[in-house]
Amino acid sequence: MISRRDLLKVAGAAAAGAATAGAERAALPAGAAPAAHPESLHEQSSPRRPLEALTADEADLLTAIVARLIPSDPSGPGAVEAGAVTYIDRSLAGPLSSSREAYRRGLAALERYATLSRGQPFRELSPTDQDSLLIDVETGGATASGAGFDGSSAAFFAMLKAHTWQGTFGDPYYGGNQGFVGWAMLGYPGVRTAVTPDDQRLGARPVPLRRSAYDTDLFNKA
């Protein structure tokens, strides 16, 4: 497992990266779609720590997908910066290993579906086309395409979305929510072991605490 120091390093890097990205994008007109060039995505996710379950191609595709699910935009970083892919990769090597095969088949099917339906690999599509393709997958519309989804494409999407949310909003201990970007997005004031009556008033804004449950030595590690 990753050491605490590694985690801080990664978190620091992600936060710094997010700040730069944010500054750059602040120049975009409001509501403009964020840049999703394959190059820039590649830059954000590298240097990547060694993958534990996914192949590099799968991780790249997954990165492009989660970038659309919770995009980075002028309001702040998204699932890529949170490390949702790292979370999924690590989980697939451990507690979610029974889903490894579903990812292999699902990602391959999604990529085939991109070529079949839009004439290009997913990562080369425009953000709008990527979104419209993902809607096909989400609604089950991609199921009967011959792309090879196991059962309904909607089931694959639901799994991927659930894991992306876990990797964006869960405890950073599991590799996601790096730099606490997920908790900041929600306005979650963080893990506390004691909460005062004042903290629970309407209108109260408890100072955000940014730490993992396992940063204290109170608990056995998961």
Partner 1 sequence: MAQTLKGADVVIIGLGAAGGIACLPLAEAGLEVVGLEAGTWLTRRDFAPDEIRNNVRDWPQAVQKANHEVPTHRANASAPTTRAASHPMMNGVGGTTLHYWAQSWRLNPWDFKVVSETTRRYGRARIPAESTVEDWPFGYEELEPYYDKVEWETGVSGKAGNLKGELDLRGNVFEGPRQREYPMPPLRGTGFTDLMAAAARGLGWRPFPGPAQINSRTFQDRSPCMYHGYCNRGGCHVDAKNGTNVTTIPRAQKTGRFRVVTRAHVTTIDVDARGRVSGVRYVTDGQEFVQPARVVLLGAYVYENVRLLLLSKSKAFPDGLSNNHGQVGRHYLSHATGASVTALFPFDLNTWYGLPAQGVAVDDWADDNFDHAGLDFIGGGNLWIYSDRRPIQAANMNTFGRAPGWGAQWKAFIRQSADRANTAYLQKTTLPYEANYLDLDPEVRDPLGFPVLRITADYRDNERRIAAFIQDKMEAWYRAAGAIDIVRGPLGTMGPNTHAYGGTRMGDNPETNVVDRWGFSHEVPNLGILGGSVMGTSGAHNPTLTLQALAWRTADHLVRSWKSIAE
- Choosing from 124, 138, 144, 154, the residue that interacts with partner 1 (CB under 8 A) is 138
* Using rule CB under 8 A, residue 202 touches partner 1: yes
If one asks whether residue 204 binds partner 1 (CB under 8 A), the answer comes out as yes
Task: Count CB neighbours of 123 within 10 A.
Answer: 20
Single out the segment in contact with partner 1 by CB under 8 A; choices: 3-11, 18-26, 56-64, 194-202: 194-202
Among residues 2, 38, 49, 71, which is the contact residue for partner 1, using CB under 8 A?
Answer: 71
Residue 17 or 167: the one with the smaller Cβ distance to partner 1 is 167
Examine residue 219 and tell whether it contacts partner 1 (CB under 8 A). Answer: yes
How far apart are the C-alpha atoms of 116 and 20, rounded to whole Å? 37
CB 106 within 8 A of CB 88: no
Q: Which residues of 166-200 are buried (b: 16+ CB within 10 A; e: fewer)?
A: bbbbbbbbbbbbbbbbbbbbeeebeeeeeeeeeee
102 binds partner 1 (CB under 8 A): no
Tokens 């990165």 correspond to 63
Q: Is 47 left (phi over 0), alpha (psi -120 to 50) or beta?
A: beta
- What residue ranges bind partner 1 (CB under 8 A)? 33-34, 68-71, 73, 75-76, 78, 95, 131, 134, 138, 161, 165-166, 168-171, 173-174, 182-183, 185-189, 191-195, 197, 199-204, 206, 213-214, 218-220, 222
